[in-house]
């Protein structure tokens, strides 16, 4: 509501404070004061806003809530910035940024950066402000904060206006104003329209500037946005003056001066006095023009005198801010490095774990890992049979002798992709060594299922392989052992399956033999 209906937001925030006080919820009281300060700030009720932010700050520190503390300090920075004390504002923002950084509040830190950029703009550092606001737009988009993104985009438009880029400012306004109208974000809309009107006036589009001001002034008055109401009044007065309508421009400029004085806006008051002096001069009111001009120069000297001290403190605070930003960047780099090191360590650990449990040539499970899985399957088997297959290749030595060891290695690497499709997801294929392969068949439906699987594996091995560009054929002798009938341990099952495999070898190779039976 703060940027849609600040007056209603004040009422809601006051209700929050009252209800939280009744409940004794100090954190909610502090949050209520924080929102109350924001709503009052958007109506240029700066004194009351400062009191609310101070209340939030006291509660935040008493409760040790750093996020609330950072937001309260940020609010106080906004207030004193509007009151013209840029150096003090930067000190508040610097403190807020430090607290937000300690709390790990990245969004809070970026909000502060958005406001620091506004201070740079007020001090004439418009290029620095533009760079910072563009950074805020990028980060806000990454964080998914549309409100902060639109606020920063609005500030980018203002920066271009202050840099003397009216055409670019108008292009950005044309993009942004419909978005703000659609979202009904009235406070941001007033600011965008105020600068749009000013840049229309700068580009000699006087009637368009006048229409924009007249359309937007009622909105500014309704939500109590006094600073930019004053800005639009001065633009409207200028549009009348440029057409030689000084008599119509005069009361508008006087209203602008009154608004600036009522709401303690010294920069707007100074500009209004200068505008009034120019208008009265064109109307021939030399005495009034001289009076306004003298008041303008007095205020200008006062602002200038204060700026000397402020800019000294500003530079000191700016150096601290840059140091803080460097520390933040170093911390982010350290965090990234630690994350990268941790990731690399996990990857190394995973690699070492894989190497310790798998055959380096084929990538299949090794003997130790296979044994552990078999023992685990036997413990969990219950009434279900568990099968162990022992497969030894026939004709592998001939491939090695005729085509070389590289061909033999290539053939062994192809065994995994050839055999796995014949197995279930929960089955395990391993290579204990040489040209031997073992298979774990857990939770079988019946003992005879192991023989069926072995027969499928035998058929898969019997199909020709292409090794180093040549077709080769090998076979397999497979022994089958099934728990519980052939044993209740890995050692027993492995031995029985190995013995069954050798019976196939003795019969002439190329077959399947069960440990129990034919």
Report pLDDT for 78. Answer: 87
**Same-domain pairing of 399 and 284:** no
Do 415 and 293 belong to one domain?
no
Tens digit of each residue's pLDDT (9 = 90 or more) over 303-331: 777 666 656 665 565 666 566 566 666 76
Interval 187-206 mean pLDDT = 93
Residue 3 has pLDDT above 70, yes or no: no
Q: What is the pLDDT of residue 290?
A: 92
Sign of the C-alpha dihedral computed for residues 233, 239, 240 and 242 taken in this order:
positive
Q: What is the pLDDT of residue 349?
A: 63
Does a structural domain hold residue 173? yes
Instruction: Pick the more confident residue, 178 or 358.
Output: 178
Please say which residue of 300, 328, 359 terminates a domain.
300
Do strands 475-483 and 386-394 pair parallel, antiparallel, or not at all (unpaired)? antiparallel
Q: What's the number of domains the chain is made of?
A: 2
Higher pLDDT, 325 or 372: 372
Q: 476 - beta bridge partners?
A: 393
Rounded percentage of the chain residues whose pLDDT exceeds 90: 55
109 pLDDT tier (thresholds 50, 70, 90): confident
Last residue of a domain, one of 300, 321, 354: 300
Q: Is the pLDDT of residue 518 over 60?
A: no
Rounded CA gap, 506 and 500, in Å?
10
Residue 25 forms part of a structural domain: no
Higher pLDDT, 91 or 518: 91
Task: Reply yes or no: is the peptide bond before residue 484 cis, omega within 30 of 0.
Answer: yes
Q: What is the mean pLDDT of residues 114-141?
A: 82
- The helices-and-strands tally (H runs, E runs) of the chain is 20, 7
Say yes or no to pLDDT of 481 above 90: yes
Q: Are residues 295 and 376 in the same domain?
A: no
CATH of the domain at 487: 3.30.70.270
Q: Which secondary structure element, helix H or strand E, spans residue 134, and what is its range?
A: helix 126-143
For residue 202, the model assigns a pLDDT of 93
pLDDT at residue 350 is higher than 90: no
Q: Does residue 240 lie within any of the structural domains?
A: yes
- Tell me, what's the pLDDT at 111? 80
HEC profile for 287-343? HHHHHHHHHHHHHHHHHHHHHHHHHHHHHHHHHHHHHHHHHHHHHHHHHHHHHHHHH
Does residue 90 surpass a pLDDT of 80? no
Q: What is the mean pLDDT of residues 470-496?
A: 94
Verify that 405 and 276 share a domain, yes or no. Answer: no
Structure tokens at 77: 């920075």
Same domain, 376 and 284: no
Question: Quick check: 208 pLDDT over 90?
Answer: yes
Q: Is the pLDDT confidence value at 80 over 90?
A: no
Residue 148 lies in a domain: no
Position 44 scores a pLDDT of 77
Q: What is the pLDDT of residue 114?
A: 80
Is there a single domain that holds both residue 294 and residue 181?
yes
Q: Does 352 score more than 80 pLDDT?
A: no
H-run or E-run covering 514? strand 511-514
Q: In terms of domains, do 395 and 503 share one?
A: yes
- Checking if the pLDDT of 354 tops 80, the result is no
- 95 vs 501, residue with greater confidence: 501
pLDDT of residue 45: 86
pLDDT at 320: 61
- d(CA 433, CA 256) in angstroms, rounded, equals 92
Whether 469 is in a domain gets the answer yes
Burial of 291 (0-12, 13-18, 19+ CB in 10 A): middle
Least confident span in 100-109, 133-142, 398-407: 100-109
- Say whether pLDDT at 86 is over 80: no
What is the chain's mean pLDDT, rounded?
87
Predicted local confidence at residue 314, as pLDDT: 59
Q: Determine, yes or no, domain membership for 448.
A: yes
| Average pLDDT of the segment spanning 236-260 | 92
In this prediction, residue 186 has a pLDDT band, given cuts at 50, 70 and 90, of: confident
Is the domain of 288 the same as that of 386? no
Note down the domain range covering 231.
Answer: 166-300
The more confident residue out of 204 and 120 is 204
User: Is 90 exceeded by the pLDDT of residue 388?
Assistant: yes
User: Which of the listed residues 260, 276, 300 is the one where a domain comes to its end?
Assistant: 300
Q: What is the mean pLDDT of residues 326-337?
A: 68
The reply to whether 221 and 296 lie within a common domain is yes
Domain membership flag for residue 125: no
Token pair of 124 as six digits = 């004439």
The pLDDT value given to residue 306: 67
pTM, to two decimals: 0.50
The residue count for the chain: 518
Residue 183 confidence class, pLDDT cut points 50, 70, 90: confident
Does the structure show a pLDDT above 80 at 502?
Answer: yes
The CATH number given to whatever domain includes residue 238 is 1.25.40.10
- For residue 99, being part of any structural domain is answered with no
Q: Rounded to an integer, what distance in angstroms lies between the CA atom of residue 344 and that of residue 339? A: 8
Same domain (yes/no): 383, 261: no
Q: Which tokens go with 470?
A: 């040549």
- pLDDT of 344 reads 63
What pLDDT is attached to residue 335? 64
- Among 163, 160, 141, smallest CA distance to 150 is for 141
By percentage, how much of the chain surpasses pLDDT 70? 90
CB atoms within 10 A of CB 122: 17
Is the same domain home to 177 and 277? yes
Query: Does residue 384 share a domain with residue 245?
Result: no
Q: Which pLDDT score, from 0 to 100, does residue 120 have?
A: 75
- The CB density around residue 22, as the number of other CB atoms within 10 Å, is 9
Query: For 416-466, how does the pLDDT look when each residue is reduced to its tens digit (9 = 90+)?
Result: 999 999 999 889 999 999 999 999 999 898 989 999 999 999 999 999 999
For range 366-374, the mean pLDDT: 91
Give pLDDT tens digits for 285-307: 999 999 999 999 998 888 777 66
């Amino acid at each position: 509501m703060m940027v849609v209906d600040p007056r209603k937001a004040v009422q809601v925030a006051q209700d929050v404070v009252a209800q939280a006080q009744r409940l004794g919820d100090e954190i909610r009281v502090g949050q209520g004061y924080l929102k109350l300060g924001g709503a009052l700030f958007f109506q240029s009720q700066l004194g009351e806003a400062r009191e609310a932010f101070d209340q939030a700050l006291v509660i935040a520190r008493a409760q040790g809530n750093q996020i609330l503390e950072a937001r309260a300090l940020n609010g106080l920075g906004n207030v004193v910035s509007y009151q013209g004390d840029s150096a003090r504002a930067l000190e508040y923002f610097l403190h807020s940024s430090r607290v937000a950084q300690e709390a790990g509040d990245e969004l809070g830190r970026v909000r502060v950066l958005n406001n620091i950029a506004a201070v740079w703009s007020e001090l004439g550092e418009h290029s620095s402000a533009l760079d910072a606001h563009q950074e805020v737009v990028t980060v806000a988009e990454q964080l998914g904060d549309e409100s902060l993104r639109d606020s920063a985009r609005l500030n980018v438009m203002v920066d271009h206006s202050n840099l003397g880029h009216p055409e670019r400012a108008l292009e950005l306004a044309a993009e942004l104003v419909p978005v703000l109208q659609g979202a009904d974000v009235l406070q941001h809309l007033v600011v965008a329209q105020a600068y749009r009107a000013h840049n229309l006036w700068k580009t000699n589009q006087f009637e368009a500037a006048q229409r924009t001001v007249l359309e937007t002034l009622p909105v500014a008055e309704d939500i109590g946005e006094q600073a930019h109401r004053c800005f639009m009044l001065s633009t409207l007065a200028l549009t009348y003056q440029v057409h030689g309508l000084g008599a119509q421009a005069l009361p508008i400029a006087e209203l602008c001066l009154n608004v600036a004085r009522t709401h303690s806006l010294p920069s707007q008051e100074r500009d209004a006095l200068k505008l009034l002096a120019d208008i009265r001069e064109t109307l021939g009111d030399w005495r009034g023009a001289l009076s306004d001009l003298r008041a303008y120069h007095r205020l200008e000297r006062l602002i200038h005198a204060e700026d000397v001290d402020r800019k000294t403190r500003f530079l000191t605070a700016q150096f601290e801010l840059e140091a803080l930003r460097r520390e933040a960047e170093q911390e982010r780099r350290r965090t990234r490095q630690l994350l990268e090191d941790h990731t690399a360590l996990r990857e190394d650990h995973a690699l070492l774990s894989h190497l310790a449990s798998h055959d380096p040539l084929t990538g299949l499970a090794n003997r130790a890992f296979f044994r552990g899985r078999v023992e685990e399957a036997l413990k969990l088997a219950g009434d279900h049979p568990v099968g162990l297959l022992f497969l030894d290749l026939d004709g592998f030595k001939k491939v090695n002798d005729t085509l070389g060891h590289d061909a033999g290695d290539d053939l062994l690497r192809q065994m995994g992709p050839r055999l796995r499709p014949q197995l279930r997801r929960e089955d395990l294929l391993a290579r204990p060594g040489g040209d031997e392969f073992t298979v774990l068949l857990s939770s079988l439906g019946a003992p005879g299922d192991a023989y069926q699987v072995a027969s499928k594996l035998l058929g898969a091995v019997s199909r020709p392989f292409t090794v180093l560009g040549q077709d080769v054929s090998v076979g397999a002798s497979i022994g089958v052992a099934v728990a519980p009938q052939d044993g209740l341990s890995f050692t027993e099952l492995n031995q029985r399956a190995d013995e069954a495999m050798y019976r196939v070898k003795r019969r002439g190779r190329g077959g399947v033999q069960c440990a129990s039976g034919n």
